[in-house]
Structure 1
Amino acid sequence: MTTEPKTAFEEIKIGGGRRIACDAAFETEIVWEQLRTSGLYAEAVAGLRAGDVIVDVGAHIGLAAILFTDLVPGLEILGFEPAPRSYACLELNQARHLPTTTISRLAIGTRPGTAELTYYPGHTTLATLFVDDADDVRNMESVMNHRDVPPDMRAEFWPTFRADPQTVTVEVTTLEQQLTERGIDEVALLKVDVERAELDVLDSVGAHRWPAIRRVVVEVHDLDGQLGRVTSLLEGHGYTVRVATEDDFAEGSIRMVVASRD
């Protein structure tokens, strides 16, 4: 169903007292803590230098971009986020904290056009072009199990999970088109977090361009062999590939694929 969106944003403070605009404060605090402590994104930017280009597909509200620039000041980040509410937060956070980041309200897919995106106001990281209720529930159950969430809190949580979904038509472009139009010849890191659309993003990269992409980090939902297809694609383009499972998602479908050619 489609509902009228909220008009105001919440705010939280993260490291250094920085104000972050968001739609769901509790979710944002958890995501920031996950990004900061997992070590995977820190590994992905280790050794990069100011001026190196990161392409952030599924930029959400900019938390990954903030972490990247905390770790390596001066990185040039190109961020894509199609969800209007998340993009509006991203604009605010960019203006406050990300002077070397350029953002676009676009989805990345296999061909230009439009698509229907589903957005969940209480759990904004679930925004997706590929809705899968069972997968989202399985991953959230894994998080709750790992964090030992008590039964009474779970009973209170589930009625709000994925509540009041909103649908919006978003513009879709390809990564190849965007890199060509912007004159980007080398990418130090391609980061992808797009809720089951990860293969579409990778398939939108021109075959000739892969040698100029040094590193890739992709959140993969391992459904119907998707993890194997992602790792095979990257290995076929000459990357050394490692698959990691974060503790929160040990019983879920989410895996992190880290690939490098340097």
Structure 2
Amino acid sequence: MTEIKSVQVADGVSFFVPQTGDGQFSEVSFIYHEIFEDRTYLRHGIKLSDTSRIVDAGANAGLFSVFVKQQFPGARVLAMEPIPPIYEALQRNLEAHGVEGVDARNLALGEKSEQVKFTFYPVIPGNSTRYPEQKKVGQELTVGHIGQAEVDRVMTGIEVEAQVERLSTVLADWAPGERIDLLKIDVEGAELDVMRGLDDEDWARVDQTVIEVQDLDGRLDTIVALLEDKGFSVVKERAEMPEEYRYHMVYATRQP
């Protein structure tokens, strides 16, 4: 059974996360370190302000949205998370941290409007995905560290149905005609789905984007090429995890 429980990630700092009876909390601590301490999403010229509009695609339990609102209280955030237990944790975190100005929606982004099956991993909810087959690389590499039995336990998934919408459709409702200062994408293998759901005229109003990418089947080069085609200058760097996992961060800005 998955419950929503509060986890301390630093002195005086806690966040709600979905948890199974034997869940571990290294994942949320890692995410906290990445966002709050390393400030991963404010590198390579990414700038925000109190007037920024930010789209948080793959909001997970809401740590990035909370970080943005603590740093830039006047910013507006659209946070989207498709997995119901994770979305519940997101809502509770926004409330617990006194965050206002975040429009949280229980949905995913993709190329078209549809209902889709996602795989929810209760032990490591941040890895929940529309494409569970892409997790095989990480599973195979992790066996050598923690053993097959523990990998099987951690990667036991539950299928859930989620609504998928095109980002252009969502933006027409949330910020019609307005600039989008940052599009943050962390969607566990569905990056290109999200990007292809944004029409050219809407790409033109996106000023910056940061995307986490696992480089499978040439995906990193495809994403970089798409961003450059949309007029962005792109910087890519390896994410702070073992190289063999193939994770990268992609930073895209428009030159003045």
TM-score by length of 1: 0.86
Measure, in 2, the Cα distance between the counterparts of 1:181 and 1:75: 18
Q: Judging changes above 3 Å, is the alpha-carbon distance between structure 1 residues 78 and 45 closer, same or farther for their aligned structure 2 residues?
A: farther
**CA 1:230–1:131 in structure 2 vs 1: closer, same or farther (change >3 Å)?**
same
C-alpha separation in 1, matches of 2:31 and 2:140:
18
For 1:27-106, list aligned pairs within 5 A. Answer: 27-43=27-43, 46-97=46-97, 98-106=99-107
CA spacing shift, 1:140–1:67, aligned 2, 3 Å: farther
- Quick check: 1:138–1:252 contact (8 Å CA) kept in 2? no
Given that 1:44 and 1:189 are in contact with CA atoms closer than 8 Å, whether structure 2 keeps it comes out as no
Asked if the contact 1:139–1:254 (Cα under 8 Å) also holds between the matched residues in 2, the reply is: no
Contact kept in structure 2, 1:83 and 1:105, CA below 8 Å: yes
2:223 is matched with which residue: 214, 230, 234? 230
Question: Which residue matches 1:214?
Answer: 207
Larger RCO: Structure 1 or Structure 2 (Cα < 8 Å, ≥ 6 residues apart)? 1
Query: For residues 115 and 95 of structure 1, what CA distance do their matches in structure 2 show?
Result: 28
Instruction: Tell me which residue corresponds to 1:250.
Output: 243
Local SS of the residue matching 2:118: strand
Distance in 2 between the 1:247 and 1:187 partners? 27
SS at match of 1:187: coil
Aligned to 1:179: 171
Partner of 1:147: none
TM-score normalised to structure 2 length: 0.88
Contact 2:34 2:40 in 1 (8 A): no
1:32 match: secondary structure: helix
CA separation of 1:20/1:124 partners in 2, compared to 1, >3 Å: closer, same or farther?
A: same
Q: Which SS does the other structure have where 2:132 is aligned?
A: coil
Secondary structure of the corresponding residue to residue 190 of structure 1: strand
- Range that drifts further, 154-163 or 220-229: 154-163
For residue 186 of structure 1, give the secondary structure of its aligned residue in structure 2: coil
Q: Does 1:126 align with 2:119?
A: no
In the alignment, the residues of structure 1 paired with residue 92 and residue 141 of structure 2 have an alpha-carbon distance, to the nearest angstrom, of 29
TM-superposed CA distance for 1:195, in Å, is 0.7
Offset from partner CA, 1:167-226 (integer Å, 9 cap, x none):
011111010000012234210000000111000000111111112111000011211111
Instruction: Give the drift of 1:137.
Output: 1.7
Matched, 1:202 2:203: no
Q: Cα–Cα, structure 1 residues 11 and 44, in superposed 2: closer, same or farther, change >3 Å?
A: farther
Partner SS for 2:181 = strand
Deviation at 1:248, TM superposition (A): 1.0
CA gap 1:19/1:39 in 2 versus in 1, 3 angstroms: closer
1:137 to 132, 136, 139: 139
Does residue 190 in structure 1 map to residue 192 in structure 2?
A: no
Question: Whole-Å Cα distance in 2 between the matches of residues 213 and 35 of structure 1?
Answer: 21
- SS in structure 2 at match of 1:10: strand
The 8 Å contact of residues 119 and 167 in structure 1, kept in 2 or not, is answered as: yes
% identical aligned pairs: 25
Q: Which residue of structure 1 aligns with residue 22 of structure 2?
A: none
2:14 aligned with 1:19: yes
1:62–1:93 contact (8 Å) kept in structure 2: yes
For the residue of structure 2 that corresponds to 1:180, the secondary structure is helix
Structure 1 residues not aligned, in runs of 5+ = 145-150
- Give the AA of the match of 2:92: L
1:168 pairs with 2:160: yes
CA distance in structure 2 between the aligned counterparts of 1:159 and 1:19, rounded to whole angstroms: 28
8 Å Cα contact 1:45/1:189 also seen in 2: no
User: Aligned to 1:23, what secondary structure does the other structure show?
Assistant: strand
Output the amino acid matched with 1:36.
Answer: F
- Count of residues in correspondence between the two structures: 247
Question: Matches of 2:159 and 2:5 in 1, distance apart?
Answer: 21
One-letter identity of the residue aligned with 1:107: A
